[in-house]
Amino acid sequence: MNEPIFDKNFEKKEKVITKSNHIFNNKSNHVFNNKSNHKSCQLRMGSFFSQTKLPPHAELEEILNSDLMGPMMFEDGIYARVPTKDTSIVINMFEIEKRRHIQRVRNYDKTLNEVLISYNKDDLESAKQKLIEKNIEPIIFTVPLPLWCPFTEKQRHECLAFWPMNNIVAAPQLPVDPIFDHSVFIEKVISEKSVIIKSPNSNEIISSASSDCVDCNGNISHGIIDALAAASKYSASLLRHDSYLCTGFDVYCYYEPCVMCAMAMVHSRVGRLFFVSSNPDFGGITSQIQIHSCPKLNHRYRAFIVKM
C-alpha cells in the first residue's frame, strides 16, 4: 500500500461547528459536558483538521462477500398452525424481529392460518407452552428460512419453496459515496493512527481512540472496543432507546479491525466501516472470515478500504 501523502503547504481548513451542550475531545474516547453554556457552544475546529491530504486518485473500495450472491443459506425457524380468528392474538404473543422480505402469515385453508413465531427452532418447546396457556392448540412445525434478504430472483425463488416472501430483492451493491465526502475523517485517522466514530447524519465526532489492531498479541484492550463503549455511553446520555446504542454509526480507523473488533461492531450494530491499512495477520474484514458480511450473523455492516 502506498504511504499517505503529507502536503506541508496544505492550509488547515477551518469550520465553526455548533453543538448543544457537548464538546468532544478528539484525542481521547471521552465526552465532555459543557453545562455552563445553556444555549450552545461554538467550537473552533481549525486544529481538528489534519495536514495529511488524500491524493486526487484516492478512492473507496467496498469489500463484498461473494457468498451472498451464491445459493441461499437457510436456518430453521418455527411456525404455528392456528385458527384464523386467533391469528392476530398469536402475532402479538410472539414479537419477532421484522424482516421485510419474509411474510409473517400464510393461509393454510379456509379456517386455519400459519404464523411465523420464531427464527430459532430451539424456541419450539417454550412456544408450545405459550400457546397452551392461551388455550390455543400447539400445532407447531419447523421451516427453513433464508439467512438474508435475497440479492437475486434465483435466491428469492429458492426461498419461496419453503415460505412466502415479499416481492423484494436487495440491491447487491448500493452506491459508494465519493471518498472526498469522508476525506476529513480519513485524513485524521491517517495522521493520528486513530479510530473515530461519528453519526452518519452529521459531522459530529462521538468518540475516538488509538487504532491498534495491527498487533493483537497479548492485547485485550483494543481502541475500537474502547471507542464503541464511549459512543454507547454518549447515546445513553441522550436517552436513546435503541436496543443497540451504536446503531447506524460510521467507524473510521487506520488499521483494519481484528476479528474481535469486527465482531464487536456487529454486536453494536454499526452501519459502515472505513479503514486505510489492511491487517493480514489479525484482520477480520479482508480475511476469509469477512465478519462484516457473514451470512450467519444477524447483523451486517458495509466495509470500505481506502485505495491510494
| Degrees to nearest 5, angle at CA 153 with 152 and 154 | 90
pLDDT in tens, 202-213: 888 999 998 878
Residue 52: its pLDDT value, please?
Answer: 76
Cell of 90: 398469536
Residue 250: its pLDDT value, please?
Answer: 96
| Residue 250, phi then psi, degrees to nearest 5 | -95, 135
Residues contacting residue 135 through CB under 8 Å, at least 6 positions apart: none
pLDDT in tens, 45-97: 334 555 678 999 999 999 988 777 789 999 999 999 999 999 999 999 998 88
pLDDT in tens, 153-174: 889 999 999 999 998 877 666 7
Residue 3: exposed, middle, or buried by beta-carbon count in 10 A (0-12, 13-18, 19+)?
exposed
pLDDT in tens, 244-259: 678 889 999 999 999 9
| Residue 64, phi then psi, degrees to nearest 5 | -105, 150
- Domains of the chain plus CATH, in order, are 59-68+173-235+243-307 (3.40.140.10), 74-146 (3.30.70.120)
Say if residues 262 and 240 touch (Cβ distance below 8 Å): no
Say if residues 140 and 204 touch (Cβ distance below 8 Å): no
pLDDT in tens, 179-206: 989 999 999 999 999 999 998 888 889 9
pLDDT in tens, 10-46: 333 333 222 333 333 333 444 433 333 322 222 223 3
Please, how many CA atoms are within 13 Å of residue 5, restricted to the half-sphere of its CB? 12
CA 177 to chain centre: 17
Which residue type does 107 have?
A: N
